[in-house]
A = this chain, B = another copy of it.
């Protein structure tokens, strides 16, 4: 097995994008619990994200969600972010919070609604041009709740046409990142429900269309690391939305529900070249901190990804290959588990300290007084939340 020293440099290139919406209030259909100190503006969200980056060195960029994070002057916002020490990253489209999209957006039977959704995405590309963002993230709520409600085939055809019209607007260095989701908010048929559908559309669009794999968007029992492997092999793994789940799209902290699964996923990323310099795979969180504190929730999340990446990098791949060739199932599994069971936390604390970062970012946050300060300062205005 590699030593921690062997992987220290590789760890240094890790970058995990934070979603601006993780800092706002969120919840279930039953209740959104409000937290004191929650940002009221996109600038406050950026400040919180910058705090996470300052504590961990892992989160140099922030994804925006349009229209939630729409501002008059994105150039100014970009400069503001850079002043805070972070970049603006992926631009996320939103076609789920407008009454017009009740029966679909890019797949809608009515050309007027489709055009509206496409125009929204074009606006997002305009924003990308200003923010310098590479990726346009398209997650669609489109689908139907009842058998018979919509023509599944026509919806695919309209989707293909709409996506082509969005894709055509992209610049040479920009990408369309198409996300799939098993279900919710549609309860009968979702229009991009699986990686196969996202992949087929991306291939039809062109080389700059890639798939986003959200770790919470699969059927029970799905082997997600297999999909990682396959999409990397096919050259279409564009991005991750990290989170974790026990049941549906729970949006819990990445690694909280099944840390071993996160390890397996990251191992396949490493094995498949997705962690290599310039691989083109974007790593992002997409979570909801419904009952836990949001800023330390994000800190915990990036640390979880870092810890598992370290373990994944430690796997002795030569020993693994030798065991496989020998048909030694238990031996191969032991090599694999050896890395997983290695406690990398002390080494990572040293690694952080050696780079001028707090050895224990969670404690450093608690000790920083930041939480108390934002609670005191952020009064009045309305807190950010889904839709805010």
Given contacts A30-B185, A220-B219, A222-B219, contact A109 B325 (CB under 8 A): yes
Q: Mark A318-353, 1 if CB is under 8 A from B, else 0.
A: 001101110101101111110011110100000000
The distance from the CB of A225 to the nearest CB of chain B, in whole angstroms, is 7
Q: Mark A149-175, 1 if CB is under 8 A from B, else 0.
A: 111110011000000000000000000
**B contact residues around A145 at 8 Å (CB):** 250, 252, 290-292, 329
| Interface status of A358 (Cβ within 8 A of chain B) | no
| Interface status of A230 (Cβ within 8 A of chain B) | yes
Given contacts A153-B229, A247-B248, A333-B146, contact A33 B102 (CB under 8 A): yes
The distance from the CB of A38 to the nearest CB of chain B, in whole angstroms, is 13
Given contacts A152-B226, A247-B221, A341-B345, contact A185 B31 (CB under 8 A): yes
| Interface status of A195 (Cβ within 8 A of chain B) | yes
Contact indicator B30/A97 (Cβ below 8 Å): yes
Contact indicator A258/B260 (Cβ below 8 Å): yes
Contact indicator B31/A141 (Cβ below 8 Å): yes
**B contact residues around A376 at 8 Å (CB):** none
Contact indicator B146/A256 (Cβ below 8 Å): yes
| Interface status of A96 (Cβ within 8 A of chain B) | yes
- Which stretch of A9-17, A46-54, A57-65, A186-194 is in the interface? A186-194
Contact of A292 among B146, B151, B260, B264 (CB under 8 A): B146
**B contact residues around A252 at 8 Å (CB):** 145-146, 187-188
**B contact residues around A157 at 8 Å (CB):** 233
The distance from the CB of A244 to the nearest CB of chain B, in whole angstroms, is 9
Contact of A195 among B101, B196, B222, B234 (CB under 8 A): B196
**B contact residues around A199 at 8 Å (CB):** 196, 200
> CA–CA, A230 to B344, complex, Å?
35
> CA–CA, A157 to B252, complex, Å?
27
Contact indicator A292/B184 (Cβ below 8 Å): no
**B contact residues around A153 at 8 Å (CB):** 229, 232-233, 268, 271-272
The distance from the CB of A87 to the nearest CB of chain B, in whole angstroms, is 27
- Among A190, A196, A256, A264, the most chain B Cβ lie within 10 Å of the Cβ of A196
How many copies, total? 4
The distance from the CB of A272 to the nearest CB of chain B, in whole angstroms, is 6
- Among A146, A268, A336, the most chain B Cβ lie within 10 Å of the Cβ of A146
Contact indicator B332/A149 (Cβ below 8 Å): yes
**B contact residues around A156 at 8 Å (CB):** 229-230, 233
Contact indicator A188/B28 (Cβ below 8 Å): no
| Interface status of A209 (Cβ within 8 A of chain B) | no
Closest partner residue, chain B, to A319 (CB atom): B148
| Interface status of A27 (Cβ within 8 A of chain B) | yes
| Interface status of A282 (Cβ within 8 A of chain B) | no
The distance from the CB of A262 to the nearest CB of chain B, in whole angstroms, is 10
The distance from the CB of A141 to the nearest CB of chain B, in whole angstroms, is 6
Closest partner residue, chain B, to A34 (CB atom): B99
| Interface status of A296 (Cβ within 8 A of chain B) | yes
| Interface status of A207 (Cβ within 8 A of chain B) | no
**B contact residues around A146 at 8 Å (CB):** 252-253, 256, 292, 329-330, 332-333
The distance from the CB of A232 to the nearest CB of chain B, in whole angstroms, is 8
Closest partner residue, chain B, to A203 (CB atom): B203
| Interface status of A24 (Cβ within 8 A of chain B) | no
**B contact residues around A256 at 8 Å (CB):** 146-147, 333
Sample of 8 A–B contacts (CB below 8 Å):
A28-B29, A30-B386, A102-B291, A146-B292, A147-B333, A149-B324, A189-B225, A219-B222
